[in-house]
Amino acid sequence: MHSALPWAGDVSELIDELAADKLPATLMDPILSERRARHEQRRAAAAAKAEAKARVDELQTRLDDLAAGELDELERLADIAYGEYTTAAWRLRDGISARRKALVDTHGGNADETAADRDGRAGDEDQRADAETGDEHRAGDSA
């Protein structure tokens, strides 16, 4: 239920409490136990949505640096946080698609690579070049 009132989501639970207090337990217990389970599911869904929204906000701030796996996570969380067919989710998916395209364009098809991966790989190449240079020097020394 969407409302500007802070207690609007609690109205049905408050009515259930009143009904439990005023009506016979034999009449209300089966109904209320089912409704309590639904209320609990609703609270769990709201908590999951809030958690997903927080993670989306965190990932979205560094969208231009995300790797493919994080983009997958962001896309999945966007549906939870915003709903599948909302404007916010569509805008975010457009940003994710643009980032995926940039990854493919930049890395020649290796969209899983991040800036940190490239930096690490560059360091490995430098070490290999140093090792090869060292091998050439040693070979020259023994000849």
Residue 81 has pLDDT above 90, yes or no: yes
Distances (CA, A) of 42 to 10, 17, 22, 35, 99: 11, 17, 25, 10, 34
Place of tokens 């409302």: 3
**Tens digits of residue pLDDT in 116-138:** 554 554 444 445 445 454 554 45
- Nearest-angstrom CA–CA distance, 74 and 62: 11
By CB neighbour count within 10 A (0-12 exposed, 13-18 middle, 19+ buried), where does 82 fall?
buried
- Give the three-state DSSP class for 62: coil
**Mean pLDDT of the region 21-42:** 90
Q: What is the pTM of this model?
A: 0.60
Q: For residue 143, name the pLDDT band (cuts at 50, 70, 90).
A: very low
**Average pLDDT of 80-100?**
93
**What does the pLDDT read at residue 38?**
92
